[in-house]
């Protein structure tokens, strides 16, 4: 073990979503969340799908768009501490495979939730609002933008 030797990445946070098996683990986690919600006796199938979608999107928003910085000590002079995980992903390069995956996955979950709720207006509004909260911050035009100064520091 080399003590005091830095890792080769300037910011390991940028490559974690491209690591081997990460996408499969992510999909299995969402599937497990849905199975757990389906196993609760008083939740109907539409409620379980809507809760799966809303919980997934809430978690995605918090971990990708609200939390800033990195859990690692980085030699980047503090640049990473001002960026969200989404902004750090793939060093900020747009339209990479991991960014496409994390943009498409909530859309697929939204379509599944809408289908299994039979497009009920209440569920549809909740699922659509939930989807928009995670898709809008992913737009390339909003990279580094802090709306109304929220999450500026």
Higher pLDDT, 89 or 78: 89
Q: What is the DSSP letter of 61?
A: I
- Tell whether the model's pLDDT for residue 153 goes beyond 70: no
Task: Say if CB 137 and CB 86 are below 8 A apart.
Answer: yes
Using alpha carbons only, what angle is made at residue 36 by residues 128 and 129, rounded to the nearest 5 degrees? 10
Average pLDDT over residues 65-71: 83
HSE of 105 in the Cβ direction (CA atoms, 13 Å)? 21
Q: Which two tokens stand for residue 55?
A: 């919980």
Least confident segment among 26-30, 81-85, 95-99: 81-85
Question: Which residues of 7-123 form beta strands (DSSP E)?
Answer: none
Task: Say if CB 132 and CB 115 are below 8 A apart.
Answer: no
Which residues are within 8 A (CB) of 108 and not within 5 positions of it... i.e. 6 or more apart?
none
Locate the domains of the chain by residue range.
Answer: 14-144
- Tell whether the model's pLDDT for residue 5 goes beyond 70: no
Please give the Cα distance from 131 to 123 (Å, whole number): 12
Per-residue model confidence (pLDDT) at position 85: 86
**Residue 4: which region, alpha, beta or left (left: phi > 0; alpha: psi -120 to 50)?**
left
């Amino acid at each position: 073990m080399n003590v005091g030797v830095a890792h080769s990445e300037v910011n390991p946070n940028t490559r974690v979503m491209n690591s081997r098996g990460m996408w499969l683990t992510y999909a299995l986690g969402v599937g497990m969340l849905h199975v757990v919600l389906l196993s609760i006796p008083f939740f109907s199938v539409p409620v379980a799908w809507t809760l799966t979608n809303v919980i997934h999107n809430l978690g995605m928003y918090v971990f990708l768009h609200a939390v800033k910085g990195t859990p690692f000590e980085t030699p980047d002079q503090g640049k990473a501490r001002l960026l969200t995980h989404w902004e750090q992903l793939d060093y900020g390069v747009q339209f990479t495979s991991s960014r496409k995956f994390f943009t498409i996955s909530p859309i697929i979950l939204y379509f599944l939730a809408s289908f299994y709720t039979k497009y009920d207006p209440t569920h549809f509004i909740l699922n659509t609002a939930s989807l928009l909260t995670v898709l809008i911050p992913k737009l390339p035009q909003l990279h580094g933008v802090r709306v109304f100064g929220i999450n500026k520091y």
